[in-house]
């Protein structure tokens, strides 16, 4: 499925459950502008909070790790997933 179609499916799903981009931002503890950037395709989700949003929305495969997790432990979690 193309990224554009995937974003449309995600928007439709959010509408169906009555959730907004602001709700996603609150749940993931990120800025709403980051969620908006991922949802409009401006941010690819390569790293940081954009990565967290893209993984949570199913736009990319990956692992969300806590900010307090060391890089070594994060890599181990990514390999195990």
> How many structural domains compose the chain?
1
Q: What is the CATH number of the domain that holds 57?
A: 1.10.260
Q: List pLDDT tens digits, range 41-62.
A: 899 999 999 999 999 999 998 8
The two structure tokens encoding residue 60: 């990319």
Q: List pLDDT tens digits, range 13-44.
A: 999 999 999 999 999 999 999 999 999 989 99
Spatial contact of 31 and 25, defined as CB atoms under 8 Å apart: yes
Alpha carbon distance 81, 79 (integer Å): 6
């Amino acid at each position: 499925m193309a990224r554009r179609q995937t974003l449309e499916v995600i928007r439709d799903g959010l509408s169906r459950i009555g959730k907004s981009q602001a709700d996603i931002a609150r749940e993931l503890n990120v800025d709403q502008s980051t969620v908006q950037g991922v949802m409009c395709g401006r941010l690819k989700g390569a790293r940081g909070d954009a990565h967290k949003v893209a993984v949570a929305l199913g736009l990319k495969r990956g692992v969300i790790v806590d900010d307090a997790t060391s890089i070594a432990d994060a890599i181990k979690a990514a390999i195990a997933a």
